[in-house]
Structure 1
Amino acid sequence: MTNTETWAPLEIKAADGGGADELLARIDTLDPGLDDLLVREKGLVFRGFGVTPETLDKALDRLLPHRLAYVHGNSPRTKVGGNVYTSTEYPQEYTISMHNEMSYAHAWPTRLAFYCEVTPGGGGATPVSDAARWLAALDDEVREAFAGGVRYVQNLHDGFGLGKSWQDTFETKERADVEEFLTGTGAEWTWRRDGSLRVESVRPSTTRHPVTGVEVWFNQADQWHPAGLGDDTAAELAAILPEDELPQMVKFADGSPIPAEYVTQIRDRGLAVAVDVDWRRGDLLLIDNVLLAHGRRPFTGDRRVLVAMSD
């Protein structure tokens, strides 16, 4: 655990030996019901039910009413089933900082479900942060600076280059499909002579939960800004490309730069209010994607955690 002991996701443990049937029965008999319980608790951990890759679909069908494709997703993943993906494929020795999934997009999943297929050799917890507490943990100066929103910039190559291609990002090889998706999202985009695509989107820095009305920190400025990567990685990127040509970057909504010290404060305080969810094979974690941000701790050995999303 971290130093935040006043909140943790609700653990629901198997009582009769586990198995998919017991899990589905427990989900169906939750009081006050899955939807209301998730809003109240923010996150639910199902332990000891022994969910297997063969029974995962059955569990996800009950937890996620409408599984979504990871279209316009910015992190590297591999699709392994019916809108089921590997969690972010990022070097295992690094921490993935806190974020609400696709908070940079015009629409985002309301729920995420994580499934542990292979227990980490060591470490590898999924930290989760109450996004309202994250907002409250930031200095007034930072909250006020972000009040006007942020501008996300993506430079997506045509198949060869740094970062993700536009084909992988939008899960299509057709430009017309990309343009149809982007139309109505509020984004501006430009196709370049080399076949790459530049997308710019202005989004708010906070949002309110549709049920509780609570305001939460809800953007990925610290993950899109070079300063959030650490000094060494940022320096390496700067030596390769000018900032405006990075695969992804972020500014304030008016185009002015975001100070590096704001970025590191956001990153560090999000992690400081996080609670770690440790993994054992067969575990499932369900979170409300507005109320909770999530990340990943470094790990050793093997680790395979899958993720699915729902509107």
Structure 2
Amino acid sequence: MQQNWAPKEITPDAVGAEPTADGLRDLLGGRFDVADGLLHEKALVFRGFGVEPASLDPILDLLLPNRLAYVQGNSPRTKVGKNVYTSTEYPAEYPISMHNELSYAHQWPARLVFFCEQAAATGGGTPIVDSAAVLEALDPEVRAAFAGGVRYTQNLHGGRGFGKSWQETFETDSRDEVETYLASTGATWEWNASGGLKLRQVRPSTTRHPVTGAEVWFNQSDQWHVAGLDGDMAQTLAQILPEDDLPQTVSFADGTPIPAEYITHVRDTAWRLAVDVPWRTGDLMVIDNVAVAHGRQSFTGPRRVLVAMSD
């Protein structure tokens, strides 16, 4: 296992490029192979090119071959452009633990790009971690317990309620479109009398990188489990609602509860191995979403980081 891993930082001076958005665009469109860079480095940080929102779109077109919509995403986000979203609107005072985007879904993006439109006054970095290193570092008892996979349960309201609505989650108001989509995913679902949707899906706890074949920890059990909830509202919900009625929960694949100590072990192991990437306004970071998991540090002051993804 690679030791002391960190993302590769790329600056104009290091690659002989103009310190402008045009310089970055020329670099990405010519002599720099992003796919090869990600294969060897897993994450790339482009710093010092002065990228602004107005110059972002052509750069994303080069970094992301096929920009995807954030369908079935569980994080609160706002769509701000052509499949470009706020990275999260989770409260600033709470960190977000390490996760691979949409690892609970039947399909996930291969690549993510983050763009820092405005750096926070303090904190707000995006920590990342080698997913294979997380798997290797887990206690053998925990790894064995998760070997059969996990079952995710979502309760998506129909317009009023806690958490996200099914309309936001699937970016449509059509039940037929949702059911057509879900029919291809192996999920089970049911509509309730209030217009909400209960969704269950069983997924593996690990996967293999499509190029290297490396097995990696690849699930979001620590974010979906009640033991991983942050904030007063989350804790209150866990106290007043049956677990199966919470916006999202997780168990082992057969429905057996996951012990809280397993969840904290997974969460703490990933945090211990993570490398923080502090933001400067205008930075971009592209990551291999299978090889690398990401999170968010708590912060103060205004912060705006955008995210886009591709297959």
TM range (shorter): over 0.9
Deviation at 1:27, TM superposition (A): 1.8
Q: Secondary structure at the match of 1:54?
A: helix
Deviation at 1:137, TM superposition (A): 1.2
Partners of 2:233 and 2:139 in 1: how far apart? 26
Structure 2 unaligned runs (5+)? none
Q: Secondary structure at the match of 2:144?
A: helix
Residue identity opposite 1:257 in structure 2: P
Q: Counterparts in 2 of 1:227-266, with a 5 A limit?
A: 227-230=227-230, 235-266=235-266
Q: Counterparts in 2 of 1:287-302, with a 5 A limit?
A: 287-302=287-302
2:115 and 2:305 in contact (8 A); partners too: yes
Name the counterpart of 2:179: 179
1:47 and 1:282 in contact (8 A); partners too: yes
Deviation at 1:231, TM superposition (A): 8.9
Aligned residues: 307
Q: Counterparts in 2 of 1:128-143, with a 5 A limit?
A: 128-143=128-143
Residue identity opposite 2:262 in structure 1: Y
Name the counterpart of 1:24: 25
Q: Secondary structure at the match of 2:262?
A: helix
Deviation at 1:21, TM superposition (A): 1.7
Residue identity opposite 2:9 in structure 1: E
Structure 1 unaligned runs (5+)? none
Deviation at 1:308, TM superposition (A): 0.1
Name the counterpart of 2:75: 75
Q: Counterparts in 2 of 1:72-221, with a 5 A limit?
A: 72-221=72-221
Deviation at 1:230, TM superposition (A): 4.8
Q: Secondary structure at the match of 1:302?
A: coil
Partners of 1:273 and 1:29 in 2: how far apart? 34
Deviation at 1:28, TM superposition (A): 3.3
Q: Counterparts in 2 of 1:28-47, with a 5 A limit?
A: 28-30=29-31, 33-47=33-47
* TM, length-normalised to structure 1: 0.96
Name the counterpart of 2:8: 10
Deviation at 1:238, TM superposition (A): 2.5
Deviation at 1:207, TM superposition (A): 0.2
Name the counterpart of 2:223: 223
Task: Detail structure 1 runs of 4+ shifted over 3 Å in the superposition.
Answer: 28-31, 230-235
Partners of 2:232 and 2:3 in 1: how far apart? 33
1:130 and 1:274 in contact (8 A); partners too: yes
Partners of 1:164 and 1:247 in 2: how far apart? 8
Deviation at 1:243, TM superposition (A): 0.4
Alignment deviations for residues 195-231 of structure 1 (CA, whole Å, 9 cap, x no partner): 1100000000000000000000000000000101259
* TM, length-normalised to structure 2: 0.96
Aligned-residue Cα RMSD (Å) equals 1.4
1:117 and 1:282 in contact (8 A); partners too: yes
Q: Secondary structure at the match of 2:152?
A: strand
